[in-house]
Amino acid sequence: MDASLTARSLESLLGDWRTGSADSVYGALAERVRLLAIDGRIPVDTRVPAERDLADRLGVSRATVTAAYGRLREQGYLHSVRGSGSVVRLPGAPAILPVPPAAEYLDLSKAAPPALPWLADAARAAVEELPRHLADSGYDPIGLPELRRAIADRYAVRGLPTTPDQVMVTIGAQHAIALLARAVVGRGDRAVIEVPTYPHAYEALRAAGARLVPAPVRPHEAGDDDGQAADVDALVQSFGRANPSLAYLMPDFQNPTGRSLAPEDRVRVTEAAARHGTIVVADETTAELDIDRVGEFMPLAAYGAAVLVGSVGKTVWGGLRVGWIRAERPLIRRLLAVRAPGDLGTPILDQLVVARVLERMDDVLALRREQFRAGRDRLEARLAESFPEWHVPHVAGGIATWVGLGAPVSSQLALAARTHGLIVAAGPRFGIDGAFERFLRLPICAPDDVMAPAIAALGRAWTSLGGVPAPESALLAEVV
pLDDT of 475: 26
H or E, element range at 281: strand 279-283
Candidate CATH numbers 3.90.1150.10, 3.40.640.10, 3.30.1600.10, 3.30.450.20; the one for domain 119-360: 3.40.640.10
Question: What are the beta bridge partners of residue 401?
Answer: 442
Q: What is the rounded CA–CA span in Å between residue 69 and residue 63?
A: 10
Please name the fold of domain 106-114+363-464: Aspartate Aminotransferase, domain 1 (3.90.1150)
Residue 238 CA to residue 278 CA, distance in Å, equals: 11
Domain locations along the chain: 7-88, 106-114+363-464, 119-360
b/e burial code for range 177-192 (CB count within 10 A of at least 16 → b): bbbbbbbbbeeebbbb
Residue 234 is predicted with a pLDDT of 84
d(CA 204, CA 225): 32
Q: Is 413 helix (H, G, I), strand (E, B) or coil?
A: helix
Q: Are 40 and 34 in contact (CB under 8 A)?
A: no
At residue 296, the pLDDT reads 93
Give per-10-residue mean pLDDT for the chain (480 aa): 78 78 80 81 84 94 94 91 82 47 81 96 97 95 98 98 98 97 96 94 94 84 48 88 96 95 96 97 98 96 98 97 98 96 94 97 98 97 97 96 92 92 93 84 95 97 74 29
How far apart, in Å, do the first and last CA atoms of the chain sit?
35
Say how many residues make up the chain: 480
What pLDDT is stored for residue 230 in this prediction? Answer: 57
What element of type H or E holds 307?
strand 307-311
pLDDT computed for residue 188 by the predictor: 95
**Would you say 214 and 193 are in contact if contact means Cβ atoms under 8 Å apart?**
yes
Q: How far apart are CA 271 and CA 300, in angstroms?
A: 11
Instruction: Give the CA dihedral 112, 113, 116, 117, nearest 10 degrees.
Output: 160
- For domain 7-88, which CATH number applies: 3.40.50.2300, 1.20.140.10, 1.10.10.10, 3.30.70.141? 1.10.10.10
